[in-house]
Amino acid sequence: MPRQINVDIAAVRESGLIKEKVLVLHPKSAIEADWTLLRESAETWAHMSKEWADYCLREKVTPIVRPILVVQVEDVRVRDQRRRT
């Protein structure tokens, strides 16, 4: 049986757990991939995934919240460039 829990949405947004919007950019010019940023993002995603799983199990929340990591990669159909994806 689900439990009703009231949560202040402003406090949740401020904590960074929920985003009001996700900004997806499509740059017009080529930019170098930053592997350090990708690694840090993946580590943060893994940490947040564990935190959410622990919270959901502790609070008996179902289904378990499963954060996503969105990664934009270079379009391999671009002909005048070497394949870097």
Q: Answer yes or no: is 59 within a domain.
A: yes
**In Å, how far from its chain's centre is CA 24?**
12
Has residue 34 been placed in a domain?
yes
Distance of CA 59 to the CA centre of its chain: 22
pLDDT at residue 29, as a whole number: 62
Is 85 a member of any domain?
yes
21 within a domain of the structure (yes/no): no
> Are 67 and 56 a contacting pair, CB within 8 Å?
no
50 vs 14, higher pLDDT = 50
Q: What is the pLDDT confidence band of residue 71, given thresholds at 50, 70 and 90?
A: confident
More confident residue, 17 or 29: 17
Does the residue 9 lie in any domain?
A: no
Place of tokens 């757990």: 17
For 31, the domain range is 27-85
Answer whether residue 72 is part of any domain: yes
Higher local confidence (pLDDT), 52 or 80: 52
What is residue 72's predicted lDDT score, i.e. its pLDDT?
A: 78
Our count of domains for the chain comes to: 1
Q: What integer pLDDT is reported at residue 4 of this predicted model?
A: 80
